[in-house]
Amino acid sequence: MSALALDAVELKSFLDREFPQICDQLQIEKVTPMCARMRLLCDDRHLRPGGTISGPSIMLLADVTFYVAILGMIGPEALTVTTNMNLNFLRKPAREDLLCDARILKLGRRLVAGDCLLYSASGSPEKPVAHAAVTYARP
Amino acid sequence: MSALALDAVELKSFLDREFPQICDQLQIEKVTPMCARMRLLCDDRHLRPGGTISGPSIMLLADVTFYVAILGMIGPEALTVTTNMNLNFLRKPAREDLLCDARILKLGRRLVAGDCLLYSASGSPEKPVAHAAVTYARP
Amino acid sequence: MSALALDAVELKSFLDREFPQICDQLQIEKVTPMCARMRLLCDDRHLRPGGTISGPSIMLLADVTFYVAILGMIGPEALTVTTNMNLNFLRKPAREDLLCDARILKLGRRLVAGDCLLYSASGSPEKPVAHAAVTYARP
Amino acid sequence: MSALALDAVELKSFLDREFPQICDQLQIEKVTPMCARMRLLCDDRHLRPGGTISGPSIMLLADVTFYVAILGMIGPEALTVTTNMNLNFLRKPAREDLLCDARILKLGRRLVAGDCLLYSASGSPEKPVAHAAVTYARP
């Protein structure tokens, strides 16, 4: 669980190539062993009436950030897929970028589980907008 | 728990007015007491590499279908919000419309809870693509 | 997904042998393909102040009923283990036996997922006490 | 998020009085604002075949630790009840005491949400046995 299999630059190239439709919305902030931080670049596509960020946008950010944390540890396994996500919506997100901190709690050969804390870019992780528990299956 | 507060036609008008950004993607199929069925009109926006429907699109369909089931029972309370969603991804969805059956298991004064079964339009509820347990809070 | 690998009588013998500490609390009511129904024989051990059934007792019933539904399909694989359980507590259970209906939604080679509806023995599945979404991993 | 409404000694008295049936199994280790740590005193009641701690015992520990974290902030509201718990089982627990760290992520007037990390007493929070996301409703 020590060194990274892929660093932030390599992960960005991988996402750009494999998921072109999301890479203009999401930006890797940092990747460390068992962890990743990403940013949702908030624009009109992500908003709901009242100027709040939509649930599916929150889910997208949590899902991709956890995926990046996994790939940082195991390398480019595109077929790794989400099997479970439990989302708790805690506060109305502001109309601004959203940050997500993912941490892996168990890096198994078959299942990888952990969680994500999401908070507004001008806010703090102590006032999270949402929390997600996530499980991925490896091929 | 008997009669509907809003029928399918009234619910469609409500969604068109309050959520214009989603109403071209989602269609109400039917609404009965404590239940709703909706369809995701699958197009390129919903796809991931390999031609599969994205997780956020699945979540959007589950979230809106459950919301419509609630509004069918309680009337137009736009401020009703999702507090928890637990998603299990069961099968790779085909590149086609997705159906979602939502059922309310508890219609409380403060919390409404239930679940959603999602399946491909040419498939069957016996081979679901995803299952979602959902909780909404009423204002 | 047709015939049962183990019927209710064989499943009872298996539970009695492998899980002697729970078999006086739980009773198999019926097992059909992809489904099982079990009963929690309510006694003082399961109660909380106010005469309500405790959360861990509810979880035990959901967990074992889903396990029995799986074993009915795949035979006696004692090493099959719970990886995720999402519990929604819907109504205060009465001080009486609790029934649980489990259904398998996906019987995979590695993961088995589905859900459980729990309701009081004198009540009805339309007024559930709890709902559980469950995932098991096969060895 | 500042001072505690009840400290560890007062919380112990409250649990002893209100939940006599569990207080010989569970011990408060520490309580700080928005957080609590408790210990499951492992004995034969908590074990499953193979000497592992049962799922319902893990759930009990997570549930009570989160409850204690809430009461530390809001004082003795016995009627505060669990509405949702999402459990991920990550590693087989050893046959020894289990520790649980609960943190509150949102202390709302109606809903309180957060999570719990559970690990073996001789192990470390970096190798958790289970993770629980929890929501309680206030009366």
Q: What is the pLDDT of residues A55-113, one digit of tens each?
A: 999 999 999 999 999 999 999 987 889 999 999 999 999 999 999 999 999 999 999 99
Convert the pLDDT of each residue in A54-69 to its tens digit.
999 999 999 999 999 9
Position A2 confidence tier, pLDDT thresholds 50, 70, 90: low
Residues of A within 8 A of D1 (CB-CB) are 126
Q: What span, in angstroms and rounded, lies between the C-alpha atoms of B70 and B42?
A: 24
Note whether B18 contacts A78, CB cutoff 8 Å.
no
Which of A90, A105, A115 comes nearest D106 by C-beta? A90
Judge whether A2 lies within some domain.
no
CA distance C20 to chain B (A): 32
Half-sphere exposure of A33 (CA within 13 A, CB side): 5
Residues of A within 8 A of B85 (CB-CB) are 55, 86-87, 89
Note whether A105 contacts D115, CB cutoff 8 Å.
no
Judge whether C2 lies within some domain.
no
Judge whether D100 lies within some domain.
yes
Q: For position A1, what pLDDT does the model report?
A: 47
Judge whether B1 lies within some domain.
no
Question: What's the domain count of chain B?
Answer: 1
Best mutation target among D83, D85, D87, D88 (most B Cβ atoms within 10 Å) is: D83
Judge whether A1 lies within some domain.
no
Q: Which domain holds residue A45?
A: 8-137
Q: What span, in angstroms and rounded, lies between the C-alpha atoms of D87 and D130?
A: 7
What is the pTM assigned to this prediction? 0.96
Length of chain B: 139
Q: For position B102, what pLDDT does the model report?
A: 98
ipTM over 0.90: yes
Interface check C59 vs D, CB under 8 A: yes
Convert the pLDDT of each residue in B69-109 to its tens digit.
999 999 998 788 999 999 999 999 999 999 999 999 999 99
Residues of D within 8 A of A66 (CB-CB) are none
What burial class does residue C109 get, using C-beta atoms within 10 Å of its C-beta: 0-12 exposed, 13-18 middle, 19+ buried? exposed
- Residue A5 makes CB contacts below 8 A (sequence gap 6+) with A71, A72, A73, A74, A75
Judge whether A3 lies within some domain.
no
What are the angstrom distances between the C-alpha of A59 and each of A31, A85, A98, D75? 19, 9, 12, 34
Q: Sign of torsion, CA B118 B120 B121 B122? A: negative
Judge whether A41 lies within some domain.
yes
Task: Please identify which residue in the block is written with the tokens 């809870």.
Answer: B113
Q: What span, in angstroms and rounded, lies between the C-alpha atoms of C113 and C87?
A: 14
Interface check D82 vs B, CB under 8 A: no
Note whether A88 contacts D128, CB cutoff 8 Å.
no
Residue A113's domain is classified under what CATH number?
3.10.129.10
Best mutation target among A84, A110, A135, A138 (most C Cβ atoms within 10 Å) is: A84
Is B1's pLDDT higher than 60? no
Q: How many CB atoms lie within 10 A of CB A93?
A: 27
Residues of B within 8 A of C84 (CB-CB) are 88
Q: How many CB atoms lie within 10 A of CB B3?
A: 8
